[in-house]
Each structure stands twice: as C-alpha cells, then as structure tokens.
Structure 1
Amino acid sequence: MNLVDPRSIYALWLRDVKRFLRAPSRIVGSIAMPLLFLVFLGFGFSGAAIPGLPEGVDYLQYLVPGMVGFTMLFGASFAGMSILSDQDVGFLKEILVAPVSRTSIVLGRIAGGSTTALVQAGLILLISIPLGFRVDSALGVPLAAVFLLLIAITFVGFGIALASQFRDSEGFGLVIQFVIFPLFFLSGAIYPVESLPSAIQTLAFVNPLTYGVDGLRAVLVGTSAYPVLLDFGALVASSIVMVGVGTYLFERVEPV
C-alpha cells in the first residue's frame, strides 16, 4: 500500500467540495457570524479610540483580516464534523477498510477542508470591499492566499485530530465551539494583543491564529505587530505539527 495515493486524495477532496457547493445553507451559515461581527463591530467602533490600534489605520481596516482569519478558523475546524457525519452514515468505515493508507485519507480531508474554508474566507473578503475595506497593494492578495492556506491546514489538522477522539458529532460540536472562541478572542482579531494582561498575552503567543491574523494584516493592510517572516514561520510550524498530530491520531481510529 502506498503511503500517499494522489487518486484517493483527489477523490476525497472532490467529494468534500461537491458536498459544500451543493449545500447553499452551509455556505450562508459559514459566513453569517463573521459577517455580523464585521458589520456591527466595524461600523459600531468606527472612529473610536481603541488602545493599541496602529496609527492611521481605521478600525474596519484593522478588523477585516481578523474576520477573515476567524472565518478560516471556524470553517477549517468544523471539517472534523464531516468525519463524524461520515461515521454516522457508514462511509468512514468503508474508507477505513479500503486499501488506502490513513495518511492519504487525512491529506484528502485536509485538502477538501482547506478548499472550502478558503472559499468562505474569500467571500468575507469580497463582501468587505463594498463596506469600505481597501487592500494595501495588489501583491497583498496572493500573499494573503498563502497565509490563508497555512491557517486552513493548521486548523483542519486540528479538527481531524479532535474528531478522531469522538464517536458522536454532538459532543464534538460542543467541544469545538468551546475551543474556537478562546482562540478567536486571543488572536488579536478584534483588538490588539498588546491590550491584554501580560499573563493572557502569553496564551496569545502560542495561538497559531495570532500569527495568521497578524500576517494577513501585514499583507492586506500594511501593518503588523510582528515581522512577516515570524508570522509565516510560526504558521508553517503549526501546519506541520497539526497535520502530524491529526495523522497520528486518525491512524488509531478503529472502524465501527
């Protein structure tokens, strides 16, 4: 058995993408919450004196990369939910007993989950432009795509790792929501990390989304709290770690 089978990866990717595109309610639901945050916070705090906000940067400009990052976090982490739904209908058992390596299955899931998360983030970014958001430079868009991909890989891997420890989607849904919002609020998505107490800042520094949001601000808005190379390096490291952890834990899953 090949460790990595491109055909199996492609088949799982295509299945996830088709399922996503055939469910308009899922697309709308995935961007509804980030859009509400964007509209109410972006306009509600427009012109407000927010401590730590970069000089000369409007709050909407500051907020949009954070909402794009949140969309990626939300969409990518819930990719693990599809594993449990496949388990409920028996599809997971079929692919687990098929002559396909677990690594190929995980990579196919990561590819599918990352693609759907990128679509969701792209929609939020497009919607933000009529609201007043402006990209700092044309080069920022392809660079942002790189950061978005790394965020997606990190949190799809996280979702798979977490889902492999559950047998029911209800329990997974409760836990993933409990994890997502602390990661979101500790990422600097809606306010600067520097405004947090020093003890909590330590938690923010080990949060991969912190570097994802900061990197998106650097390439889309032209301002960042950390060097872009640090943001990029931290996301590459978190992607490798989470894919490795997700693969290791998924290999221990038994067909049921």
Structure 2
Amino acid sequence: MTTTDTPMPSLATPLPQRSPVGTFAHDTGAVFTREILLLLRDPFSLIFSLLQPLMFLAFFGPLLDGLIGGSGIDGSSALQWFLPGILVMIAVFGTGMVGSNLLYELMTGAYERILATPIGRASILVGRALKEFAPLVVQALVITLVAIPFGLTFYPGHVLVGLVILGIFGIGLGSLSYTLGLLSKDREWLFWGVQQSVIFPLLLLGGMMLPLDTGPTWMQIVSKANPLTYIVDAERMLFTGTLWHADVLQGLLAAIATCAVGLVIGVRKVRRTI
C-alpha cells in the first residue's frame, strides 16, 4: 500500500499584490474611513456644517434679489446665480481646514504614527481632503432642496458634475493646506495667518459673492489668474442647466491643474518629513 503525502500550503506564499491603482484606492479609502468616523462621532460639528449654508442663503439671498432685481443669469432666479458661489465657498473653507487638523496631530504625536504605516503618502492627502469635502455633498443637497420652493430650478445631473469639479479642486486645495500645516509645525499662528490672508482674497477675486464684470479693470485682470474664477463660472453655468460650455471646460481644467499642483507639492513635503 502506498501513500502519497498531500503537500501543505506554504505559509510563506505571498499575498496577491494589488495594482498601483488598487493600492492607492485601498489606502485612500482607509484614510477616508478613519477620518469620516471621527467626524460622525461629533454630531454638533456635523449639524453646524448643515446649518451654515442655510444661514448664508437666508441672509444673503434677499439682499441679492434686491440688488439685481431678482434675476440672475439670462433672467433666471437670483438663486441660480448665488447658490453656486455658496457651494464653492463651503468647499474652499472645508478643504482649506485640512492643515488645521494636522496641527493637532503634530502636537499629540498621532501624525508620526500615521507615517509609520505603509499607507501611500498621496493617499493620506487625498483621503483627508475627501473627508473635508464629503459634508459638502450633503450640504449641497440640503441647500438646493430648500431653495427649490423659492425659485431655484434643480438640474440633478449638472449639479453632480459641479460637485465632481469641486471635489477635484478640493483635493488640490486640501493638499496645499496639508503642506502649510507641516510648514507651520509649532507655529500655529503661521497657518492661520497665511490661510486667512490667501483664502479671502481668492474668494472675493473669484466673484463668489458679487459679479466682477462691473469691477475696476485691475480687479478683472487679477481675477484671470485666480483658479477660483473659472470654478465659480463653471458652477454657475452648470446650475443654469448648461453642460457643454467653454466655462465648464475651463473650470474642470482649473480644478485638475490645482489638484495636480497640490498633490505634487504635498507628497514631496510629506516625504521630506519622514
């Protein structure tokens, strides 16, 4: 009688390797999940983030109606013009706060523990930026649904495209904010001073609250170098129900360029801190 030994599986058999894209998606998802769970454990911040855009709509909406006679673009509701600017503002403030959360982790030592993990450095930046951007999706739905009874025409597909553009832009801005947080280690005042000095001029020169067409010539020239100008124009065009337009394409290109620059600078800075 002969016996054959069944070969035992080797414990040293390597696990299947993910592709670079799969690894990036997995790591980004892990970072995003960790960060969003921390947000969900703080219901006050979540509720406040939903109330803030409604407050802007309630206070600025009537003023805008009186200023431009209740008409926005092509005779549509003023909300059709005003609401996209609010969404851009929320996205800028949200993703611009990525660096402030990093400052707390630098003080507690949590950041060093994150760097000790095998997570890709780009995934750390993208995951955190997406966590700050995620509430915008909920805010956009809430504020849009609330504005419908007051004359806003809702184009779901166009709004979705607008959110994608804001998401791409937010990743780049969040990465730049992350870089600023690293540069501001042990100097928290530096982060807030630079952030406030940059964000507010960008918003004003992007025509978020008021149109720049009637502004001085120098302001119109400077606004052409501001990526937010093209983002705001793209969002407003999308909210009027127009998808295939040069403004939308320019806004998408401005978002992609900001994302690329932010990731290159951010990843390089993160690697230098290891």
Q: Do residues 166 (structure 1) and 172 (structure 2) align?
A: no
Deviation at 1:53, TM superposition (A): 5.5
Residue aligning to 2:268:
248
How far residue 241 of structure 1 moved from its aligned partner, in angstroms, is 1.3
Quote the Cα distance in structure 2 between the aligned partners of 1:54 and 1:243. 35
Residue equivalent to 1:220: 239
Is 1:144 the equivalent of 2:162? Answer: yes
- Verify: 1:203 aligned to 2:222, yes or no: yes
2:93 to 74, 78, 85: 74
**Structure 2 counterpart of 1:160, one-letter code:** Y
Q: CA deviation at 1:32?
A: 4.7
Q: Which residue of 1 aligns with 2:33?
A: 14
What percentage of residue pairs aligned between the two structures are identical? 30
When structure 1 is superposed on structure 2, of 138-147 and 234-243 the one drifting more is: 138-147
* Structure-1-length-normalised TM-score: 0.84
Structure 1 residue 96 corresponds to structure 2 residue 77: no
Residue 133 of structure 1: SS of its match in structure 2? coil
CA contact (8 A) 2:172 2:258 kept: yes
Change (3 A) 1:113 1:48: closer
In 1, the alpha carbon distance for the partners of 2:273 and 2:140 equals 31
Total equivalences in the alignment: 252
| Alignment map for 1:40-79 (pairs within 5 Å) | 40-49=59-68, 54-79=73-98
Change (3 A) 1:222 1:99: closer
| Shift in Å, 1:160 | 1.3
Query: Hey, what's the Cα distance between the residues in 1 that align with 2:219 and 2:42?
Result: 39
Distance 2:93 2:167 in 1: 14
| Residue of structure 1 aligned with 2:127, choices 99, 104, 108 | 108
Q: Which has the higher contact order (CA 8 A, sep 6+)?
A: 1
Q: What stretches of structure 2 of length at least 5 have no aligned partner? A: 1-20
Q: Deviations over 1:199-250 (max 9, x none)?
A: 1223222222222221111111247995321221222112111121222222
Distance in 2, matches of 1:123 and 1:76, equals 19
Larger radius of gyration: 2
Between the aligned partners of 1:5 and 1:140, the Cα distance in structure 2 is 28
Q: What runs of 5+ residues in structure 1 fail to find an aligned partner?
A: none
Shift of 1:130: 4.6
Give deviations 1:104-147, integer Å, cap 9, x for gaps. Answer: 32233233333344444444434433544222x34313222222
Residue 192 (1) aligns with residue 189 (2): no
Cα offset for 1:33? Answer: 4.5
Matched position secondary structure for 2:183: coil
Question: Which shifted more, 17-26 or 63-72?
Answer: 17-26
Whichever residue aligns with residue 82 of structure 2, its letter is: L
Aligned twin of 1:125? 144
Given that 2:126 and 2:171 are in contact with CA atoms closer than 8 Å, whether structure 1 keeps it comes out as no
Tell me the amino acid that sits aligned with residue 128 of structure 2.
R
**Structure 1 residue 29: deviation in Å?**
3.6
- How much does 1:81 deviate? 1.4
The equivalent residue for 1:231 is: 251
Normalised TM-score (structure 2): 0.79
